[in-house]
Structure 1
């Protein structure tokens, strides 16, 4: 998984479940956010002149308790390494958004690495300036330790980020085994993110033990994708024959799962998968797609 994807998955978590922003605020500020609500993902360019360089990673807004219709805007940034230039950009983000909306703004910075979190966990005040910027930093120590299945299912986002930020085999396995039982596409996506971010030795052992888990749960993880593919190929299957329709459904599943996990296939690779009529080969690709960290691990020389 590329650094770009490692940066984007935590932001994708917010877009998939905006209420996750309230959980981040709760752990970072140590406050009860249960009375906040109506979380909305906002699409706001914070600088119209340079939209590519001056677009915040994520902007959401939430209703404020007893706020007479006022809303709190939350900018979320993900930082994988320390970059001093970010301070100036964040001043621009916060100031621009506050001026446009005339509402309070909080900057939340997710830092999976302890050293990066420590670097940003301070106030920034430029010389000869009245402005003071104090970001809310979510580092490893502030992410909740969640390994029980009930807790992981309640917030797979928090559980996955914590497992990534504080990597160890026991916790990673506990979270991964619950992620593969999830009934929506977040399961494979978050599992992929977790496995890709773990140190090599932990990732290798995780994948070995998860191979056993797949057998124990009757391969439920990939069965969902197989069923989804069969549904897509159902109409074609009636016309072209049951076996060929099943093959096309499996091929669709392979491509869908790889796309959800962040892999980018060439047109030639997509065509190869869709042209394959060997059900057994497609099942092999589908199983590999659930755990692979590199595209070559799935398709090999295909």
Structure 2
């Protein structure tokens, strides 16, 4: 009986602790959301505040974005396009590389995997200059491909898919070969569906990284019409005018795609991370 009471007490303590942690995590977002309904004069005077004054709150900032800030939606579309391309191409190529490293025994396999780990350890800031020179040589600067190309085979995604694929049964591959299936058929028709949880987990992580990416797009995108949201919102703050009202309201709207992405894949997210972390 005492054990049962102790379990109930521990459960309540755990739930309360997680609730407090959730509030701490959500605290900045709540402040951002409240401030997005405040006029520009209040923001310039008090900054981001958690004080809710209904008499002084309005939706003018959002009305301006929806009715007059056409450039904002151009940035939004660019971010959606780049993030969508990054997710699809990264999942496709990285899953193939990780699957090959896990399931096939070929000469130099371990060396390739070590190289993946070494690249994973190198800060991106060191790779920026040679990558930028490659984009200039290929004459694709100021295009979507210049932003997406260096990210389609991400080392962290390759490592993640390799670890997950090592837990898949190789007997299925042998059975498919006996039935006359090609190696590509085995991957796309049998193995890739089994890697669904890992694909969903990595879709969220890659989508989040691409959506928030600032430094690399800043280097390769030059025209205002090609800017992504992080770059475009940063241009609102200048020595000649600080549009904090539009910046904050626009920042709130940028959260929506990530929330939708997580809701869509969240049922597979935990399973994908757990399996990829313990198998192999």
If asked which structure has higher relative contact order (CA below 8 Å, sep 6+), I would say 2
Indicate whether the TM-score tops 0.5.
no
TM-score range, shorter chain: under 0.3
Max Rg structure: 2
TM-score normalised over the length of structure 1: 0.23
> Which structure shows the higher helix fraction?
2
